[in-house]
Structure 1
Amino acid sequence: MYPERVRGLHLNYIPGSYKPPLTPNTPSVSEEERAYFDIVAEWLEREGAYSALHRTKPETLAFALSDSPTGLTSWMVEKFQGWSDCDGDMERSFSLDHILTNISIYWFTNSIASSIRIYTEGTKMPLHFTEGQRVTVPTGVSLFPKELPTPPRSWVERVYNITYWEKANKGGHFAAMENPKLFAEHLNHFFSFIKHLIVSILERAMKHQYNWLPSSECNSSGASFTRLRFTLKGKMTQSCPLNPVSDITTVRLELI
């Protein structure tokens, strides 16, 4: 994989297994974050049976759903209805053609078993971070009102470099399918912001508005520096950490 090639990361769902480090060196849990834990616990009690079954008995469920188109349809439609912004009327969010096409893909390829396995495999490598681990690329999060429980920004920022945090006025867990136009608008807003940010950094760097620091000084300072790499006329001309003196010092960019 080539993480250095990633310009930005856009998310509309934070996986339930996400867990930032909690140590004596990290901020204590806030009241807002504790309230989120309570919301998750209540949601799991009310809605989490499917997930427990996927994680612990995936093959048992797979045989049942692969043997009955009615069973498969029931299993999937319940989620389309319950996790969309439809107020109980699924056809307010999806056409029947969309729903039947989606179900048919699973049925005719007999792939419900492999799709369930992600829950089991995910338990072997949950999204747990240790102290010092960071997702440093600029990250944008779109919040859809009927999404599964979403952590507060502070909880996500313990690991992710959040540069865009935007609420949508409609949509749920299947946002790209339910409201593709709005979803695309959020993507465009986020990556337009990244583009302008890149241009701004390059312009300032070219005008020598940053104080370049030796690598040895940066390594010993313990500060979190932005690294700027850019190519002019096909040749690498700069590759230096930036002194964190501007309002965008939390943004890490690798511009090749």
Structure 2
Amino acid sequence: MNVAQPAPADPSAVRAFDAHTAEAELDELRARLAAARLPDAETVPEHRRWDQGVPLADLTDVVHYWRTEYDWRKFEERLNRIGQFRTTIDGVGIHFLHRRSARADATPLIMTHGWPGSVAEFVDLIDELADPDVVDAPAFHVVVPSLPGFGYSDKPATTGWGVGKIATAWVELMRRLGYDKFVAHGGDWGGVITTILGGQFPEHVLGIHCLTPQPPAGLPTSGLTATERAWVEDTREFWNGPRAAFAKQQAIRPQTTGYALVDSPVGLLAWILDKFAEWTDTTDSPFEKISLDRFLDNVTLYWLTRSGASSARIYYESHGGVDAFDPDLRVDVPSALTVYPHDIEKCPLPWAKQRYRQIVRWRTPETGGHFPSLEVPEYFVDDLREGFAAVLAADPS
């Protein structure tokens, strides 16, 4: 007798997803933290205590809090309340948060994080962006995907998932959600992907809001102001000096680094905390501005999803590889650009104009670093709204 077989699941379908970590995994994390072997303290004076990396005293305090007080379940519940989904694009499962606005005039918005960030950067802002308290503020249908290899997205099993392919996947993701036209925001790798979205897909992208505008290479510094020249020097010093060693390591040997990041929660914590400390606009500790719990939400997400190696591969794929950023890309859609003073890349306006041909809003805030949604969330939301208001006013469609 022939028995009818169930039809295979449609990989292009969008399916609801609930995060729930087994208690045994959380117990294992706490056990690893309790058994951690730590190095001796740094050998520099107190006033230069970050010169050799994360100070032992700071790391010890965070590890203790992570093991004894931090509650992962609160973050899990927060993600589930927002609405989590997955769909498969080009063989890779993509996880994303999706919050539809109740407003009839809402605009679809995709927000892309970078490294060492995650969807945790945006969870506290999504409701406010979707259904603002201010009546005349723009509202958005908010989509926040996890980059391939990050969080609850799949880890690509082959090469090829660089920034260009991710941008193409985001257009398909938005199409599946019924958003043929949308706006896009991003910083760090998300800023690169957002720039590609605006440059390569103007038929779908109404405009962009970018925190890390990408200037063409080889532009002269003549004609720049003293502040703009200092930005250029700072950015070049960062990428050409030892501070960019993490990026070079992840671009060349992500697998090697990944063994430590996937095996040791303390190693993962230190690797990420080092960047949050250096790239945040604070005097000493990133926790002057950023919630320790939200920071640990981000780190714990990396840990539980074993993404230390897979997330690092975006550097391998996108730094000079076949899917690297196109140096000649031109962005003609309306663009709102914001450069925070303590970010690691700061692009002068005259240079930005060489790639972004319709800059409708340019802002240089007085405070803020690489993680403004966590450091200065109120300003970030206002800037995003005002930027997209300018973008939508400029777009004829």
TM-score range normalised by the length of the shorter chain = 0.5 to 0.7
State the one-letter code of the partner of 1:129.
Answer: P
Q: Is the 8 A contact 1:40 1:149 kept in 2?
A: yes
Change (3 A) 1:69 1:82: same
Between the aligned partners of 2:364 and 2:207, the Cα distance in structure 1 is: 19
Q: Is 1:173 the equivalent of 2:370?
A: yes
- Where does residue 202 of structure 2 map in the other structure? 3
Q: Is the 8 A contact 2:262 2:308 kept in 1?
A: yes
Match of 1:149 among 345, 349, 361: 345
The alignment of Structure 1 onto Structure 2 pairs a total of residues equal to 190
Q: Is the 8 A contact 2:215 2:347 kept in 1?
A: no
- Where does residue 119 of structure 1 map in the other structure? 315
State the one-letter code of the partner of 1:193.
Answer: A
SS across alignment from 2:206: coil
Larger-gyration structure (1/2):
1
Runs of 4+, deviation exceeding 6 Å: none
Q: Is 1:59 the equivalent of 2:278?
A: no
Q: How do 1:42-121 residues align onto structure 2 when only pairs under 5 Å count? A: 42-44=237-239, 45-121=241-317
Q: TM-score, normalised by structure 1?
A: 0.68
Query: Which of structures 1 and 2 has the larger relative contact order (alpha carbons within 8 angstroms, sep 6+)?
Result: 1
- Where does residue 30 of structure 1 map in the other structure? 221
Between the aligned partners of 1:101 and 1:68, the Cα distance in structure 2 is: 17
SS across alignment from 2:363: strand
Task: Tell me the CA shift for residue 149 of structure 1.
Answer: 2.6
Which runs of no fewer than 5 residues in structure 2 stay unpaired? 1-170, 172-200
State the one-letter code of the partner of 1:183.
Answer: F
SS across alignment from 2:380: helix
Q: Is 1:129 the equivalent of 2:327?
A: yes
1:128-184 C-alpha deviation (Å, 9 max, x unpaired): 333xx5210010111211111312111111111222111222211011122222111
State the one-letter code of the partner of 1:137.
Answer: V
Between the aligned partners of 1:55 and 1:174, the Cα distance in structure 2 is: 22
Change (3 A) 1:37 1:142: closer
Between the aligned partners of 2:331 and 2:274, the Cα distance in structure 1 is: 34
Q: Is the 8 A contact 1:21 1:128 kept in 2?
A: no
Q: Is the 8 A contact 2:206 2:392 kept in 1?
A: no
State the one-letter code of the partner of 1:3.
Answer: P
Which runs of no fewer than 5 residues in structure 1 stay unpaired? 23-27, 198-252
| Alignment RMSD | 2.1
Q: Is the 8 A contact 1:140 1:165 kept in 2?
A: yes
Match of 1:184 among 381, 385, 388: 381
Between the aligned partners of 1:129 and 1:192, the Cα distance in structure 2 is: 28
State the one-letter code of the partner of 2:203.
Answer: E
SS across alignment from 2:333: strand
